Amino acid sequence: MDVHELRIHTYGRDLDDAEYMARDAIATLLDIPIEDVAVAVVVDSVAEPLAELQAARRAKAEADARETSAMSHAVTALLRQGINQRDAGRLLGISHQRVSQIKTQLDSDRAA
């Protein structure tokens, strides 16, 4: 493992070991406790695909949050129109039990 900023090179058998060795080398060089040293392990040869994966995961999490919000609004709108839970589930592509769970959660959130 290389710590370019401090011109340190260490070796570890795996990522955990390499991280520890880098922290130890930095702590020794800077004469500070190892507990005060944090490092981010970056594998340069796969940094781009890993960054792409992280971006995709963030986008998925944001899409999931939007879907959850939209589902809650749709359940509320359908039930307010007098549509029963079974039919609401059919329209939403989910089970009537899931509609009931969402309704219960919404009612609980409103009561809090």
Length of the chain: 112
Mean pLDDT of 12-36: 92
pLDDT of residue 78: 97
Rounded Cα gap, residues 80 and 33, in angstroms: 61
pLDDT of residue 40: 85
Q: What is the pLDDT of the chain when averaged over all its residues? A: 93
Res. 1: pLDDT tops 80: no
pLDDT of residue 6: 85
Decide if 12 contacts 21 (C-beta within 8 A). yes
Backbone angles phi, psi at 71, to 5 degrees: -65, -45
Mean pLDDT of 100-104: 96
Distances in whole angstroms, Cα of residue 105 to Cα of each of 22, 23, 102, 111: 47, 46, 5, 10
pTM of the model: 0.65
